[in-house]
């Protein structure tokens, strides 16, 4: 992984991946996409990592695709364009299939591809001044790859409005429509984010993995199939040592207070 463009730190179970191109407002290029894929593979394998946080260095989370990338894309033919698009699609699939919670920590601007990157995370925490927008339509482009995720998060009507208008929305509005999970004030942002991530990382890792996997697996199942699959996941959780230990602790506390 290229440490200069994507830094990697682990503290108390939280791996923080930081887009590190502040002079380019953390704009996306092939190098940074490759680094993200490598980091996802690394965090998936490291048992010390329970939660993955994605941040941006400097004043913005991510301003979208690098201008040099846009120029390169504009000169591509159909086959080369398809291969390039599949590269970003592969990143989104890896994020969806990653066994651990991925949390976007957004400040400043998250625009176009940067907004898509945040949307592809399982959870989004935002500073109250953060701005979101899928502005590709203003260039005659379509934020096609993020639509599969966005329509699931905010519903079809909201998703189409965001994509068709390409307008920017502030963090409180993004939270209201379901694009963002939590908004924290700027003065306490790092403290609040740290507490949230630490709390999430304190949950049993196996249970978190089962929960995330089932949530997304249900997307392609009918109701009865979903209930059946959930029953199997329920059994997996029950048979885990973490669950058995948790039940023992709960029963002991009840016995002491009764």
Strand order in the sheet with 109-111: 109-111, 131-133, 169-170
**Euclidean distance between CA atoms 35 and 65, whole angstroms:** 15
* Residue 231 and residue 76 in contact, taking contact as beta carbons nearer than 8 Å: no
Structure tokens at 251: 């029963």
Residues 6+ apart with CB under 8 A from 205: 47, 50, 100, 242
Residues with catalytic function: 136
**Euclidean distance between CA atoms 161 and 163, whole angstroms:** 5
Radius of gyration (Cα) for the chain, nearest Å?
A: 20
Structure tokens at 131: 């701005």
**Euclidean distance between CA atoms 181 and 59, whole angstroms:** 21
* Residue 113 and residue 56 in contact, taking contact as beta carbons nearer than 8 Å: no
Going by their DSSP bridges, the two strands 14-19 and 6-11 should be labelled as antiparallel
Structure tokens at 140: 């005659």
The residue count of the chain comes to 258
């Amino acid at each position: 992984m290229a440490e200069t463009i994507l830094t990697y730190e682990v503290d108390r179970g939280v791996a923080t991946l930081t887009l590190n191109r502040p002079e380019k407002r953390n704009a996306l290029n092939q190098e940074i996409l490759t680094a993200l894929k490598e980091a996802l593979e690394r965090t998936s394998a490291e048992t010390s990592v329970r939660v993955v946080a994605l941040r941006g260095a400097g004043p913005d989370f991510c301003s979208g695709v690098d201008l040099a990338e846009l120029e390169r894309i504009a000169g591509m033919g159909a086959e080369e364009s398809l291969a390039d698009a599949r590269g970003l699609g592969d990143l989104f699939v890896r994020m969806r299939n990653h066994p651990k919670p991925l949390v976007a920590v957004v400040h400043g601007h998250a625009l176009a591809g940067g907004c898509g990157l945040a949307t592809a995370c399982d959870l989004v925490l935002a500073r109250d001044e953060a701005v979101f927008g899928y502005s590709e339509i203003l260039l005659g482009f379509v934020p096609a790859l993020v639509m599969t995720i966005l329509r699931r998060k905010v519903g079809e009507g909201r998703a189409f409005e965001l994509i068709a208008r390409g307008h920017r929305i502030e963090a409180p509005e993004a939270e209201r429509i379901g694009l963002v999970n939590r908004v924290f004030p700027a003065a306490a942002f790092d403290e609040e984010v740290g507490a949230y991530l630490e709390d999430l990382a304190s949950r049993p890792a196996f249970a978190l993995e089962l929960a995330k996997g089932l949530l997304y697996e249900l997307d392609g199942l009918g109701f009865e199939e979903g209930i059946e699959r959930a029953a199997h996941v329920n059994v997996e959780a029950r048979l885990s040592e973490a669950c058995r230990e948790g039940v023992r602790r709960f029963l002991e506390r009840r016995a002491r207070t009764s």
